[in-house]
Structure 1
Amino acid sequence: MNKRMLTAMLTALLLLSGCSQPLMSPATSNQDTATTVTSPDKTNSKQTTYPTDDLNLPRVPVELVKSIDGDTISVMFEGKKENVRMLLIDTPETSHPKLGVQPFGPEAKSYTKELVEQAKKLELEFDIGPNRDKYSRLLAYVYADGKMVQESLLEQGLARVAYIYPPNTRYVDKFDDLQRISRNKAIGIWSVENYAQEDGFHPEEHEGATGSNSTSTTASKVPTEKPQKQQQGCNIKGNINSKGEKIYHTPDSPYYERTKQEQWFCSEKEAVQAGFRAPLK
């Protein structure tokens, strides 16, 4: 009996050890699969994503007639020549009857012209709201070889987010972020403090920053103790813009190179004591 029992126990142990090996395999396999699936999610979590990234909305192919301005083009749409106003952005003017040519307007116009004229495929994407504005222009997102022109202009600092009229606001969150990046880099329209504002563009700020709009009124506001020459170690620029605002710029300021100094300061404390303030962030 003892031998039979010993034989039975050994047989049972062998069977259990043989069955236990396959039970580990699915668990190991599932763990490997989970790692493979979640790895892209971890990568994407480091990047900014938007609900509109994977919409795959229909686009209408059009033929370019001409580029009119930074934010306006003319195309052949449904057999007719139509002007297209790009949704959610605004670029400085180049031929406005009242505003004339605004700073960075020619740059924006040239940039858009190059994008749309060199594109092999030009497409329009409409939002869910009205397709036309009060001037009967088409309202759309414009794509040149698959790249949205509005995004490119915002990335280059040649446009501001504007004319946000619901429900035509599909990409406004993404546009706001692109604008914020360009503004932080102080490129294009953001290279001059207060030039691009919520209510439009202010050329007088650009002129004040570059010193091209010096007037007797502005000059009279400059302190009489202004040094005629830059003193050694005094590299903070004091500027008085067209509104009479006294602003100082340190070498770290994104507007430093573009600023026409009207007074040099040796320290920020000295600038503040003279009535100047730091640039707005």
Structure 2
Amino acid sequence: MKKFIFAIFISTVVLSACTEETSTKTIENEDIEGLISSTLENAEKYDVSRFEEFELENVIDGDTIRIKYNGSSEKVRFLLVDTPETNHETLGVQPYGPQAKEFTKQLLAGQDTVYLEFDVSYRDKYKRLLAYIYTKEGISVQEQLLQHGLARVAYIYAPNTKHVDWFKSIQKTARQSTIGIWSVEDYVTNRGYDKDAYYATTDKNKDVKKTENDKSITNNNSCVIKGNINSKGNKIYHMLGQRDYDNTIAEEMFCTEEEAEAAGFLPAKQ
């Protein structure tokens, strides 16, 4: 069942990429749960006995956690990966940032400690600890973020380059599969993530969907009542001439109000 959930997730993301229709909701929390289940069951487990174990305090972001280090509370920045932001003072929330954070949070859920593999240099210019992160079971957090399209390989600064070739090979596979951050062309850049490119593409896809929807109406102009299910799950139907008619994307089309109401749809108020 877990493998089936994972297969559905991958198929959904690939299909959305093929049809050039992408949304920040491509990966929902229930998808993350499925990915976590699959990861716990199928991910490669590494020997962590040679690494250092520390008390985990909390997850700050997709690529940052807080641990207890030599009696002090310290931030740990994941080496060689970068996830989209969730609470940046200038960049704000970036698409797939919340999903990356949720993935890391769920992968580390129930873990009171984590294992850190240090490279040559222990800290960055912000005095944060730098490390490769592993769960008690030996799962590499960086590997899984890259594998599921929730992070890019970045901040490659010598001498901390021990796993760069490994990470790049994982990223290459995710990119070729156009999953997660790679599902929208030009969203990932050498400098980070381009929200403008992301929303330009997704807005374009919305326009394409609306055009196709309008063509469907034209081809069947006797049935022009649009049935739409809103974000709250309410079924609403819209008549020609109503305020939101042109901007409404129909899940179903009806020929009469009676037909719409029989299907459980209620009339729009305006």
Equivalent in the alignment of 1:139:
130
Size of the aligned set, in residue pairs, is 170
After TM superposition, the structure 1 = structure 2 runs for residues 162-173 of structure 1, keeping only pairs within 5 Å, are: 162-173=154-165
- Residues 195 and 120 (structure 1 numbering): CA distance in 2 closer, same or farther, change over 3 Å? same
- Residues 82 and 227 (structure 1 numbering): CA distance in 2 closer, same or farther, change over 3 Å? closer
Which residue identity is paired with 2:123?
Answer: R
C-alpha distance after superposition, 1:28-49 (max 9, x if no partner): xxxxxxxxxxxxxxxxxxxxxx
Question: Residue 199 of structure 2 aligns to a residue in which SS?
Answer: helix
Which residue identity is paired with 1:124?
Answer: L
- Residues 204 and 141 (structure 1 numbering): CA distance in 2 closer, same or farther, change over 3 Å? same
Distance 1:193 1:54 in 2: 33
Measured after TM superposition, the shift of residue 117 of structure 1 is 2.4
Equivalent in the alignment of 2:62:
70
After TM superposition, the structure 1 = structure 2 runs for residues 260-271 of structure 1, keeping only pairs within 5 Å, are: none
Q: Normalised by the size of structure 1, how large is the TM-score?
A: 0.55
C-alpha distance after superposition, 1:186-213 (max 9, x if no partner): 1110011110111110011211121189
Equivalent in the alignment of 2:93:
101
- Residues 81 and 213 (structure 1 numbering): CA distance in 2 closer, same or farther, change over 3 Å? farther
Percent identity for Structure 1 against Structure 2: 48
RMSD: 2.9
- Residues 57 and 174 (structure 1 numbering): CA distance in 2 closer, same or farther, change over 3 Å? farther
Which range is displaced more, 138-147 or 56-65? 56-65
Query: Greater relative contact order: 1 or 2 (C-alpha under 8 angstroms, separation 6 or more)?
Result: 2
1:191 pairs with one of 175, 183, 206: 183
Measured after TM superposition, the shift of residue 79 of structure 1 is 1.3
Question: Residue 180 of structure 1 aligns to a residue in which SS?
Answer: helix
Measured after TM superposition, the shift of residue 118 of structure 1 is 2.8
- Residues 54 and 85 (structure 1 numbering): CA distance in 2 closer, same or farther, change over 3 Å? closer
Q: Which runs of 5+ in 2 are unaligned?
A: 1-44, 220-270
Question: Residue 197 of structure 2 aligns to a residue in which SS?
Answer: helix
Equivalent in the alignment of 2:215:
229
- Residues 56 and 68 (structure 1 numbering): CA distance in 2 closer, same or farther, change over 3 Å? closer
Equivalent in the alignment of 2:152:
160
C-alpha distance after superposition, 1:2-21 (max 9, x if no partner): xxxxxxxxxxxxxxxxxxxx
Question: Residue 229 of structure 1 aligns to a residue in which SS?
Answer: helix
Task: After the TM superposition, list the runs of 4 or more consecutive aligned residues in structure 1 that deviate by more than 3 angstroms.
Answer: 53-57
Equivalent in the alignment of 2:73:
81
- Residues 212 and 105 (structure 1 numbering): CA distance in 2 closer, same or farther, change over 3 Å? farther
- Residues 105 and 54 (structure 1 numbering): CA distance in 2 closer, same or farther, change over 3 Å? closer
Q: Normalised by the size of structure 2, how large is the TM-score?
A: 0.58
